[in-house]
A and B are shown apart, each in its own frame.
Chain A
Amino acid sequence: MKKILLASTLCAVLVYGDAAALLPVEKRTFDQSKYIPDISAILDFSYVNNSVKDDEIAHLELPGVAHGLLGEHSHGDSNHATYNAKNGFNLNYAEVVLSSSVDPFLSMDAVFHFSEHGVEVEEAYFTTTALGHGIRARGGKLNSNFGYLNAQHHHYWDFGDMPLVYEAFLGMHGINELGGQIQWTAPTPFYLMAGFEVLQGTNEQMFGNESVDIEEFSGVEEDKIKGTSAPSLYVGYVKASHDIGDTTIAGGVSYAQGDSMIDHSDDHEGPHVFNGDAKLYGADFVVLHSLDSYSSIKWQSEWLGRELDGIQYNLETFINPNMNKKQSGLYSQLIYTHDKNWKMGVRYDTIYKNDVVANGVNKNMTDDFNKYSAMVEYHTSEFARFRLQYNRNEAMYNEDGNRVDIDTIMLQANISIGAHAAHSF
Chain B
Amino acid sequence: MNKFLLLFFLPLSLFAHLNIAVSYPYIGALTKTIGGDHIETVVLAKGNWDPHFIIPRPSLISKVRNADALIMNGGQLEIGWLPPLLNRAGNPKIEPNAKTFLNLSHHIGLINKPSNVDRSGGDIHPEGNPHFHLSPQNILLLANTIKDFLISIDTEHKAVYEKNHSEFLSMWNQKMKLWSEKMANKKGLKVIQFHDNLAYFNNAYGLVNIGTIEPLPGIPPSSKHTIEMIELIKKENPCCILHDVYHSTKTAEFISEKTGIKVVLMPHDIEALENINDLGSLFDHLTSAIK
Interface residues of chain A, those whose CB is within 8 Å of chain B, are 104, 107, 127, 129-136, 183-193, 239, 241-243, 248, 250, 288, 290, 292-294, 296, 339-341, 381-383, 417, 420, 422-425
Contact = CB atoms under 8 A, between A and B. Distances in A.
Contacts of A422: 56, 79-84
B246 A292 contact: yes
A14 to B, nearest CB: 25
B173 interface: no
A243 B90 contact: no
Contacts of A241: 57-59
A184 B90 contact: yes
Contact of B59 (A133, A186, A242, A340): A242
A322 B80 CA distance: 52
Interface string B52-73: 0101111101100110000000
Contacts of A191: 58-59, 61-62
Contact of B55 (A184, A193, A296): A296
Contact of A185 (B53, B89, B93, B248): B89
A103 to B, nearest CB: 10
A236 to B, nearest CB: 17
A34 to B, nearest CB: 14
A408 B220 CA distance: 31
Nearest to A250: B58
A267 B95 CA distance: 51
B90 A293 contact: no
B232 to A, nearest CB: 24
B90 A183 contact: yes
Interface of B: 49-50, 53, 55-59, 61-62, 65-66, 76, 79-85, 87-93, 95, 97, 119, 122-123, 218-220, 246, 248
10 contacts: A132-B92, A185-B61, A189-B66, A293-B50, A381-B119, A382-B218, A383-B119, A422-B83, A423-B56, A425-B57
B123 A187 contact: no
Contact of A135 (B83, B84, B90, B123): B90
Main secondary structure of the interface of A (DSSP, over half): loop
B56 A248 contact: no
Nearest to B53: A293
A381 B58 contact: no
B49 A292 contact: yes
Nearest to A298: B55
B59 A190 contact: yes
Given A129-B95, A292-B246, A425-B56, A136 B88 contact: yes
B46 to A, nearest CB: 8
Nearest to A247: B57
B66 to A, nearest CB: 6
B56 A341 contact: no
B123 A134 contact: no
Nearest to A241: B58
A414 B16 CA distance: 50
B59 A248 contact: yes
A191 B56 CA distance: 12
A185 B49 CA distance: 27
B59 A424 contact: no
A293 B91 contact: no
B219 A381 contact: yes
A223 to B, nearest CB: 48
Nearest to B88: A424
B49 A293 contact: yes
A341 B119 contact: no
A293 B59 contact: no
Contacts of A134: 65, 89-91
A140 B88 CA distance: 17
A248 B53 CA distance: 16
A425 B246 CA distance: 21
Given A134-B65, A381-B218, A383-B119, A425 B58 contact: yes
